């Protein structure tokens, strides 16, 4: 019997790469999901089954979980991948956009987890893999609200891992660094949208935009989505999965550097990279 795996946000980037990689395995039945089925039709020939799923819609989430449970009795593994970046300064970013981001990055993840857990507990096993970010352990200017959503994923994952351990449900967190997907373009777009003409943060926003673009172009600092897909596969299939998988050498270096330097020294590093706010 294969293990049914529900993967969210598979229309592009990390989610698509994960669905394609997992679908090649004979021990897994992969359910690739997206808000629009037409965006994931190409995953069907790869071996994935397709489901419509909007993680900001309660009815959509219930239907997707029910579809998997109707065929397999439970969702054997859940990969909470859906997410995006709402960028801009704390003062200028519209809170409606921030709320939409939290609905996707945090509340959708939490609600879908709630929906699959009863079936996993009844079966006495399960896997939950949350795709967070190295941005859940450090903060760069211009991305405070995005980082806040990923810090929330860190906290939820740590609590969930402890709470579900008695039921043989294993929980892991994936912490990618810079991954060459459409994420960078989306972040740059929201950064531009958040900044008004004559903004007091115009120099900072320009510096953030320039650094972001250069970093995503760098083969040294970034990686392709396949690197994250590989870590997701390990978290799903390892007998003793890690609590965290930090993806890309640059991300590992930055996470440890932030921890070792402390707040004041890291702020000095950021000033060197981005300059002041005026």
Write b or e for each residue in 137-172: b if 16 or more Cβ atoms lie within 10 A of its Cβ, otherwise e: bbbbbbbbbbbbbbbbbbebbeebbeebeeeebbbb
| pLDDT of the residue at 9 | 98
pLDDT-derived band at 91 (thresholds 50, 70, 90) equals very high
Q: Report the chain's mean pLDDT, rounded to a whole number.
A: 93
Q: Which residue in the list 84, 146, 201, 216 is annotated as catalytic?
A: 146
Q: Please tell me the predicted confidence (pLDDT) of residue 189.
A: 56
Instruction: Mention the CATH class of domain 3-274.
Output: alpha beta
Q: Which residues pair with 175 in a beta bridge?
A: 246
Q: How sure is the predictor about 131, in pLDDT bands with cuts at 50, 70 and 90? A: very high
Mean pLDDT of 210-215: 86
Please give the Cα distance from 185 to 226 (Å, whole number). 19
Q: Which residue's structure tokens are 């065929």?
A: 71
How confident is the model at residue 196, as a pLDDT? 63
Percent of the chain with pLDDT over 70: 94
Q: Is 90 exceeded by the pLDDT of residue 11?
A: yes
The two three-digit tokens of residue 6, written as one number: 């529900």
Asked whether the beta carbons of 226 and 234 are under 8 A apart, the reply is no
Tokens representing 132 are 């967070």
pLDDT digits (tens, 9 = 90+) for 175-195: 999 998 876 565 555 566 656
Q: Is 146 tagged catalytic?
A: yes
pLDDT (mean) for 158-177: 98
Question: What integer pLDDT is reported at residue 215 of this predicted model?
Answer: 87
Task: Dump pLDDT digits (tens) for 35-85.
Answer: 999 999 999 999 999 999 999 999 999 999 999 999 999 999 999 999 999
């Amino acid at each position: 019997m294969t293990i049914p795996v529900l993967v969210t946000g598979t229309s592009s980037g990390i989610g698509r790469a994960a669905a394609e990689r997992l679908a090649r395995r004979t021990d897994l039945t992969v359910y690739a999901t997206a808000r629009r089925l037409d965006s994931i039709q190409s995953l069907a020939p790869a071996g994935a089954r397709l489901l419509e799923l909007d993680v900001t819609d309660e009815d959509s989430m219930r239907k997707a979980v029910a579809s998997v449970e109707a065929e397999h009795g439970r969702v054997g593994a859940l990969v909470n991948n859906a997410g995006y970046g709402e960028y801009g300064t704390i003062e200028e970013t519209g809170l409606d956009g921030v709320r939409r981001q939290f609905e996707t990055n945090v509340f959708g993840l939490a609600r879908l987890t709630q929906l699959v857990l009863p079936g996993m507990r009844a079966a006495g096993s399960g896997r939950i893999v949350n795709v967070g970010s190295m941005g859940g352990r450090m903060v760069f200017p211009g991305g405070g609200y995005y980082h806040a959503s990923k810090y929330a994923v860190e906290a939820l994952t740590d609590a969930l891992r402890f709470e579900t351990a008695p039921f043989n449900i294993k929980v892991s967190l994936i912490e990618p660094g810079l991954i060459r997907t459409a994420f960078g373009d989306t972040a740059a777009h929201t950064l531009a949208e958040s900044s008004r003409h004559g903004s007091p943060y115009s120099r900072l926003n320009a510096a953030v935009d320039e650094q972001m673009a250069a970093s995503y172009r760098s083969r040294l600092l970034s990686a392709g989505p396949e690197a994250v897909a590989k870590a997701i596969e390990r978290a799903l299939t390892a007998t003793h999965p890690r609590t965290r998988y930090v993806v890309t050498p640059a991300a590992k270096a930055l996470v440890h550097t932030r921890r070792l330097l402390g707040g004041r020294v890291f702020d000095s590093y950021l000033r060197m990279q981005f300059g002041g706010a005026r």
